[in-house]
Amino acid sequence: MIRFTKLLQSQAKAIYLIFVLIAILGILAYGNVPSGVYPELSFPRIAVIAEAGNVAPEQVVLTVTLPLEAATNQVYGVQKVRSKTTRGSTELSIEFQPTTDMQQALQQLQAKINEVRSTLPSGVNLTVERVTPAIFPVLSYNVTTDTLAQTDLYSIAKYQILPRLTKVAGVALVNLQGGNIPEVEVQVDPNRLQNYGLSLSQVADTIGRSTQNQAVGKLDSNYQQNLVVTNGQPIDSSALTGIVVTTKGAGKPVFLEDLGQVSLGEADRTQIVSAKGQPGLTLNIFRQPNSNVVAVAEAVQQEIKLLEESLPPGVQIAKAYDESGLVVDAIANVRDSIAIGIVLIIIVLYVFLREWRSTVIAAITIPLSALAAFGVLSFVGQSLNLMSLGGLAVAIGLVIDDAIVVIENIDRQLQKDLDSTTAVAAAMAELTEPVISSTITTVAVFLPLGLLSGVAGQFFTSLTTTLTAAVGFSLVLALTLTPLLAASWLRQKSNHSEPKLLVKLDNAYTGLLRVVFGKARWIGAIALSLLAVGAVLFTQVGSDFLPTFDEGSYIIDYLTPPGTSLTETDFLARQLEEIIGKTPEVINWTRRTGAENGLFATQPNKGDIIVVLKPPGQRQRQVFDIIETQRQDISKKLPQVDIDFHQILQDELNDLSGAASPVEVRIFGEEPAILRKLAEQVQTIIDNIPGLVDLVSSGGVILPQLDMRVDSTQAGQLGLTESDVAQQVQDGLFGRVATQIRQGDKLVDVRVHLLDSVRRDPQQIDQIPIVGTNGTTLPLSALATIKPTTGEEAILRENQQRYVSFTGGVEKRDLGSVVQDIKKKLAGFKLPQGYILSVGGLIASQQQSFSQLLMVMGLGVLLVYLVLVIQFRDLLQPLVIFTTIPLALLGVVLSLWITQTPLNVSSFMGIILLVGLVVKNGIILLEYTNRLHSEGHSIESALLEAGRVRLRPILMTTLCTILGLLPLALGLGAGAELQKPLAIAVIGGLSLSTIFTLIFVPAVFRIVSRFQR
């Protein structure tokens, strides 16, 4: 090792330069790595949205849903196909196997859908998209006005604001929701139609033919070619009134104004948007994949400032939602946690080392390891997010472990009156192998994480990337830079006196070991008793999927009673807004009716409200408490409205993973009536389970509708088919776009329909005039019967089997306990033959992740065992170290139970990390024991001496790890809650495991050594 030390010293300048370059590259990488709340997630799901007009769900299922389901099931790798069919639309969610190449799957799916497209009804619009975070906006802006008409506001937003924002770097799409779309209305009097023997379709066709622009020929004149064109397109709605629709009597023209009224109005609204109760519209901004959320938000805000200068007076653009704010706050909080951890670690180092040079040499490992991790993030193409920064925060207490062990041993060698070069060589000769082995064990436990799929796998792959990069680089530093700096900065310490407190600690520990060696059976009994206590406590620890944190914003999904009109839903939603507006912590909200967040088909009785709260420092209550209060207020004032609260990012993650709610109870079967009856019974059973909130049923609800039955014989006498009659009724009620007028550089639709007073009155529907091919006009009542009936609100299917479902959230209880209660209450529920009940939601993702994490932990333990066998060249000694793992789990259970933290994916990751950590101290202790034993010491004296020598580095590394994790365990600031369970698990497990490593491992090793002899 002297040669290696001298080699390091001879190349000191080159080594310093290398690490300076690495630090510079790390700083550059930190500035260029894109930032976001979560890692760039990829989901094995594709969504297919089909818009089929205003058709009953039963008809849409037969003509659209079934053909699409059949086509998608033929694609390779499909695991599950879910469909939700509502009036005029169907939404398919196709889930693939986790290992599927999704780009190839998308192409194959599009090809299969194209094969059946010709069999679908005409006019069906299809959207096929991968389900990625890109389907959700990262920014939303509300556009309102106090001075302009809402139709003018829509035009400004669509033609002035939207194009400018679309061009901003990093923006993929800008979507406009709400607003009053300008439209020229031609309202025709049905009585006049009947008088002139005209149908609406004839009127619309005449308008279309009369307003065409087309080329009719070419003429050469004066050496030039002139194009002859007709210019019939009107530039004003008044120009339409003079169109001749037909003639009467002796060629007397019948003008359009003779049939009804022409006016500039607005299209029938299908969605309503309000900003803090004021009518307006919303611009949702979607970022490009792998773009920087913060940079995109800043660029958009800058563009809006420029836009505001050119907008008409009275137009306001206000930010409704900004994901980048959470990103900035969360990253800043994690960064602060790292800084606090570093300060605490430096204090511990100085207390033990009592020398500032040694403290600096060890502490310099932290920033260099962090910068190296940023470089790795940039190299592998990952973003700076809560998980990657969380991995770095976790690593802060670990990266210094190797440097501590090395510098402490060098310090001990210097106390033997050795010169710095010899002391460094002696220390490195002792520690190179155990330091390498102990670091490899930390990294090895994470290697099987590649087998972890789903959201949890992608989340914690990002965390482990930075953690392993930082820990791995810290090993390089401990073997190169740390000894090099120690050889240059530290000097021999003759006549050095140890602090009395540390000497007393050494003596107390040695005395305790002697007592333990004489009471081995008692120690074993105590350990078994503690394990029994841990097993009992484990039953009291709840379970969950992913940790939740206060995002500072949330969504209220609301659903009014089945069949509620858009107008009535708007009235009820305004009352919801009143409740929200009275909440002091709320600073902004945006309400959508007939629309919602993401790529989903929405009904007119459904919508959502995005609520933004004051920053955490300006409010006393957390988001969870605010939600609970609002839930109670809404339930009292509007009991007829179903509500579902979600934090925005949590809601998006649930939607992306295919589990829209934490709890979902589904009943599968064929007969809708039986399913509805079973659903009512199930709802009665589970409705009052503690912790189960926002229970909403789907698929078992009926809607009011009017059933029109056309008499084919009567229609035939007019030369019409049933479809012809239906088309004329549709033209009268929904209207038909006949042409467009030009307003500047914009085109405005001209829609022809019956008078509003007629088409919106159910009592006058049967008087709609139907014109036959022979010119005969009869009222609809002569050709068809119309009677009230009911239809299904939505038809839910999974793998081509119908089901109804209940979805709900969890409040003030853990997910596992709530699901367990649901299963208990439904255990005795009897189902008819052929009907199946299942309980799913996020609990399915939790169970899948837990089973995979158990496998990962098992493989990690095997890899760690392999490393230990290589290190000790023995099969039994590694098992001695492994005896601390069950006792470390006791510490995990105890810490989770005390802090009321559920066992979730984050705390499970802490357990896996703990497996690699608890063996590190054992390696350092037993390796030196073996070294002393090989030099002639007895087992007992070797254990006593090794314990005395290794006590300080073990305590130092443990304290540094714990204090490095302490800010995360306290969960201070936005986003810290994601790593909080992990930190709590590691702190609890490491605290107890260190005690047992120092006491239990020597005792067991002493017993095993006797048997080996």
What pLDDT score was predicted for residue 578?
92
pLDDT tens by residue, 808-847: 888 888 888 888 889 988 888 888 898 999 888 888 888 8
Contact (Cβ atoms closer than 8 angstroms) between residue 460 and residue 861: no
Q: Find the range with the poorest average confidence among 144-158, 256-270, 414-428, 912-926.
A: 414-428
Give the list of residues 6+ apart from residue 771 with CB closer than 8 angstroms, or none: 193, 197, 198, 199, 202, 718, 728, 777
Q: Is the pLDDT assigned to residue 1 strictly greater than 60?
A: no
508 and 447 belong to one structural domain: no
What pLDDT score was predicted for residue 604?
83
360 and 473 belong to one structural domain: yes
Given 81, 105, 131, which residue is the final one in a domain? 131
What pLDDT score was predicted for residue 658?
65
Rounded-to-integer distance, Cα 623 and Cα 631, Å: 12
**Residue, of 171 and 463, whose pLDDT is higher:** 171
Q: Read off the pLDDT band of 973 (50, 70, 90).
A: low
What pLDDT score was predicted for residue 987?
92
364 and 391 belong to one structural domain: yes
Q: Is the pLDDT assigned to residue 3 strictly greater than 70?
A: no
Q: Among the ranges 554-558, 650-654, 840-844, 919-923, which has the highest mean pLDDT value? A: 554-558
Contact (Cβ atoms closer than 8 angstroms) between residue 641 and residue 569: no
CATH of the domain at 235: 3.30.2090.10
- Asked, for residue 232, whether it belongs to a domain, the answer is yes
CA distances from 937 to 905, 940, 945, 946 (A): 46, 8, 9, 11
Residue 279 carries which side chain, given as an amino acid letter?
P
Rounded-to-integer distance, Cα 95 and Cα 48, Å: 11
54 and 28 belong to one structural domain: no
Instruction: Please identify which residue in the block is written with the tokens 């002391």.
Output: 423
What pLDDT score was predicted for residue 629?
92
- Asked, for residue 183, whether it belongs to a domain, the answer is no
What pLDDT score was predicted for residue 975?
65
399 and 486 belong to one structural domain: yes
Given 131, 154, 189, which residue is the final one in a domain? 131
Contact (Cβ atoms closer than 8 angstroms) between residue 822 and residue 663: yes
pTM of the predicted structure, to 2 decimals:
0.83
pLDDT tens by residue, 372-409: 999 998 888 888 887 888 788 888 878 888 888 888 88
Mean pLDDT within 630-645 = 90
Q: Is the pLDDT assigned to residue 603 strictly greater than 80?
A: no
Q: Read off the pLDDT band of 872 (50, 70, 90).
A: confident
What pLDDT score was predicted for residue 143?
93
What pLDDT score was predicted for residue 654?
74
Q: Among the ranges 68-72, 671-675, 682-686, which has the highest mean pLDDT value? A: 68-72
Mean pLDDT within 201-228 = 84
Q: Which residues pair with 586 in a beta bridge?
A: 613
- Asked, for residue 229, whether it belongs to a domain, the answer is yes
Given 768, 792, 816, which residue is the final one in a domain? 792
- Asked, for residue 65, whether it belongs to a domain, the answer is yes
Q: Read off the pLDDT band of 35 (50, 70, 90).
A: confident
CATH of the domain at 71: 3.30.70.1430
Classify the phi-psi angles of 577: left when phi > 0, otherwise alpha if psi is within -120 to 50, otherwise beta. Answer: alpha
Structural domain for 520, as ranges: 497-540+874-1012
656 and 753 belong to one structural domain: no
772 and 648 belong to one structural domain: no
- Asked, for residue 857, whether it belongs to a domain, the answer is no
879 and 931 belong to one structural domain: yes
Q: Is the pLDDT assigned to residue 647 strictly greater than 60?
A: yes
Q: Among residues of the chain, what percentage have pLDDT more than 70?
A: 96
CA distances from 941 to 242, 635, 881, 1002, 1004 (A): 113, 72, 19, 11, 15
647 and 556 belong to one structural domain: yes
Q: Report DSSP letters for 238-280, one per residue.
A: GGGGG-EEEEETTTEEEEGGGTEEEEEEEPPPS-EEEETTEEE
934 and 980 belong to one structural domain: yes
What pLDDT score was predicted for residue 599?
52
466 and 566 belong to one structural domain: no
What pLDDT score was predicted for residue 601?
52
Question: Average model confidence (pLDDT) for the chain?
Answer: 85
Report the number of distinct structural domains present in the chain: 5
Mean pLDDT within 99-120 = 90
CA distances from 910 to 58, 844, 900, 988 (A): 50, 21, 16, 10
892 and 959 belong to one structural domain: yes
What pLDDT score was predicted for residue 499?
67
Q: Is the pLDDT assigned to residue 552 strictly greater than 70?
A: yes
Q: Beta-carbon neighbour count of residue 239 at 10 Å?
A: 14
Contact (Cβ atoms closer than 8 angstroms) between residue 445 and residue 915: yes
What pLDDT score was predicted for residue 283?
92
